[in-house]
Amino acid sequence: MTTAHTGPRIEAATLAEAVAALRARGLRLSGARRVVLEALYETDQPLSAEQIADGIGTLPASDLASVYRNLETLERLGLVQHVHLGHGAGRYVRAGREREYLVCERCGANRAVRPEQLDGVRDAVEASTGFRARFSHFPIVGLCGDCAAAEPEG
């Protein structure tokens, strides 16, 4: 089982701030690293390494191994966070903006929510088990509103 990066996360609101944070930690901005960062700043949606390697928007395609190496480096620095949103490869998002995830097990829809929106669930888990849950690395899985509505009453 993979685990979430537990070091401090860096909230870089812009690509320029992310580049500055990278350089402040003694790393250079290679072309491959720039493409990974630009892809993550193109969207708020979690991206797989394969999506980044295939090219997002106007960004060029990249070598998949290089994308993975750069994502690992950026995660270790606290600029990137990886999450698992159901079956398949992990996804990557910009770090620093706390969010947790809900995933529909039927249609695959996923939604990021602010952690405080799940405080009731977290409190219920803690009250019954003593365990303080986080849903930032692995999501809460269930049925989205549309899929739940389409399910026969039973």
* Amino acid, single-letter form, for residue 73: T
Q: Which CATH architecture has domain 15-94?
A: Orthogonal Bundle (1.10)
Distance CA 60, CA 62 (A): 6
Domain ranges across the chain:
15-94, 100-150
Q: Where are the beta strands (DSSP E) in the chain?
A: 80-83, 91-94, 100-104, 110-113, 140-142
Q: What CATH number does the domain located at 100-150 have?
A: 3.30.1490
- The answer, yes or no, to whether residue 137 has pLDDT greater than 90, is no
pLDDT value at residue 2:
47
Q: Is the dihedral of CA 45, 51, 55, 61 positive or negative?
A: positive
**122, pLDDT greater than 70:** yes
Q: How far apart are CA 17 and CA 25, in angstroms?
A: 12
What DSSP state is assigned to residue 57?
T
What φ, ψ does residue 142 adopt, rounded to 5°?
-175, -150
pLDDT tens for each residue of 54-103? 998 888 899 999 999 999 999 999 999 888 887 778 899 888 777 888 98
Question: Which helix (H) or strand (E) is 17 found in, with range?
Answer: helix 15-24
Mean pLDDT value across the chain: 87
The two tokens of residue 64 are 């998949």
Kindly tell me if the per-residue pLDDT of 39 is higher than 80.
Answer: yes
* Mean pLDDT score, 106-119: 89
